[in-house]
Amino acid sequence: MTKLAERWDTFWFAPEPPATLGFCRFVFFTGMLWLQYPFRLHTWARTPRSYRRPIWVFEAFNLPFLNESVMFVMEMCWVAAIVLAAVGLFTRVATAVAFALGFYLLAMGNNFGKIGHGDQALALVMLILALSRCGDGWSIDAWIARWRSGAVRARSAEYRWPVRMVWLLMALIFFSAGASKLVRSGSAWITSDHMAMTLIQVHHLHLKPPTELGLYLARYPLLCNVMAAGAVALELSFPLALMFRRLRLPIVLMTLLMQIGIGLLLAVWFRQFVFLYVFWVPWDRVGMRITQMGHESRRTGKSHLIPVDSQIRH
Amino acid sequence: MNAIATSDQHPLPDPVPMRRSRRWLVHALAGGLILGHAFDVVTRGDHWPISSYPMYAYLNPSDFRVMRLFGVTDEPVPREIPIEGAWLRSSFARLKRRPDASVRLRHAVTSFAQSYGWDRKGHGARFVAYRLYEHQWTLKPGADPNRRPDAVDLLFELRRDEATTTTAPTMTTAPTMTTAPTTAKTGEAARDEAR
């Protein structure tokens, strides 16, 4: 029991340098700008009242449906907060404002009969970053602090838990997706012609997949069953990536490839997840390795690649 | 091969220990996320931003039906321009299952026209009408994906001249609906939302 508690504690709170979290913050909020461009969330205010089907958070907290001009101002403030959060200026305030405004704006589009399943992860990651000290690395705030005091931020658990929380979030998302398939449709989700029908069906919608590979695959029922089984197995096994270090790379990489496959076969691109995968890369070590390679090549006068397995482990 | 991995086994001592309250915050957040997702999976719920992520979780039958809204241009040879949106499709599908579907769908198309008007950017022409169809395909492996629907039902047409004279236009086309009257969230309704 003590060993389990120790593992749990280490998982969340082993000290880390601020670089990985800071770089993830920079990439995540920069990605948010790209995802939201050209900033049209305020136009949800035009959606007729008769289409409204408020989600629980709007009902529970009695959130109002604001008019378009108010939402436009909110969205512009949100964009400003995202820019500040990305560059790391007034980071604590910027991330808090980005979460508060983003939560409302991203939630708004889900009040009209269709709940999307991409943006909610963004809202939760913004919450995690707002509660974290993500401005201590890769930020103007950190640069100013270093310039004033000359001190470099020490390793801390504060820079580890937010990254691990994003890992947990992703594990829950994929596990829930896999479990939902079995809870709602049982083994028929794998053994029936559901996958084949899904692959064909999307070709009758306006937004067609970029390839006709799905139509080809749909001709082979057994192959479709294997694909369905593989998808459910991968989704259900994602939490193992949290527990077993050796499984992290294969599971995360295969899940990324699965999502690319979904985009190619079904025209559903979970673009939001690109900026969640960033949290799985130990950027501080990547930075160290690049620096090391630079030193090596200067010393030897030629490019020198360091074997990955010989990297220094902290 | 361990680029995506950090060491869990030999952590250095934390030079700046976290406050106890901050640690509890982390535990509470992790616990909330785990319990929230577990609750939604078990109850098949969707409590934004927590969810059971039911994308494609319901079985797709070979009989595929989709509600689609089109704008009809005022050109010499009118064209039907599809107006796409997952929220529109699932809203129409939900309304069609209600006992008062014809009234609801009429109101939905009318309010859509009132909110978004009769000009749609990028199409170069004004709309003279909105048409709401239900398209049906029987899905078959190997069939031409570009083939026309096996059945096309025009559920409702809202003409611009009608819409400008009255806010509650009468239907120009009788709906050919066979509704399964219910106001509760059926499996079918949940499936529409989960797509």
pLDDT 10s digits, A284-304:
999 999 999 988 888 876 554
Q: Which residue has the tokens 């979030």?
A: A169
Distance CA B162, CA B172 (A): 10
pLDDT at residue B119, rounded to an integer? 82
- Judged by CB atoms closer than 8 Å, whether chains meet at A203 and B145 is answered as yes
Interface check B98 vs A, CB under 8 A: no
Distance CA B76, CA A71 (A): 40
Residues of chain A where predicted confidence (pLDDT) is lower than 50: 304-314
- pLDDT range class, residue B17, cuts 50, 70, 90: confident
> What's the average model confidence in pLDDT over B103-113?
94
- Find the CB nearest A156 among B1, B7, B14: B14
A-chain CB neighbours of B106 within 8 Å are none
pLDDT at residue B7, rounded to an integer? 46
Q: Burial code of B133-146, b = ≥16 C-beta within 10 A, e = fewer? A: bbbebebebeeebe
3-state secondary structure of B70: strand
DSSP single-letter state for residue B12 = P
CB contact at 8 A, B58 and B190: yes
What is the strand order of the sheet B80-83 is part of?
B80-83, B63-73, B127-138, B151-159
Q: How far is A189 from chain B (nearest CA, A)?
A: 6
- Judged by CB atoms closer than 8 Å, whether chains meet at A156 and B16 is answered as yes
Is a pLDDT exceeding 80 seen at residue B12?
Answer: no
Helix, strand, coil percentages, rounded to 5, for chain B:
35, 20, 45
Distance CA A268, CA A104 (A): 24
Question: What is the per-residue pLDDT across A67-105, written as a single tens digit (0 to 9) for each?
Answer: 999 999 999 999 999 999 999 999 999 999 999 999 999
Question: What is the per-residue pLDDT across B61-86, written as a single tens digit (0 to 9) for each?
Answer: 999 999 999 999 988 999 999 998 89
Q: Determine the angle formed by the axes of helices A194-201 and A221-237, rounding to 10 degrees.
A: 100
pTM for this predicted structure? 0.88
Interface check B181 vs A, CB under 8 A: no
Interface check B24 vs A, CB under 8 A: no
- pLDDT range class, residue B13, cuts 50, 70, 90: low
Q: How far is A29 from chain B (nearest CA, A)?
A: 18
Q: How far is A12 from chain B (nearest CA, A)?
A: 8
Find the closest chain A residue to B14 by CA distance: A15
Taking CA B78 as the corner, what is the angle to CA B72 and CA B80, rounded to the nearest 5 degrees? Answer: 40
| Ramachandran angles phi, psi of A243, nearest 5° | -90, -35
Interface check B168 vs A, CB under 8 A: no
Give, in order, the Cα–Cα distances in Å from B51 to each of A114, A127, B182: 13, 16, 25
Residue B46: what residue type?
D
B143 vs A77 pLDDT, higher one: A77
B181 vs A66 pLDDT, higher one: A66
Give, in order, the Cα–Cα distances in Å from A110 to each of A289, B105, B160: 43, 20, 29
B-chain CB neighbours of A112 within 8 Å are 87, 91
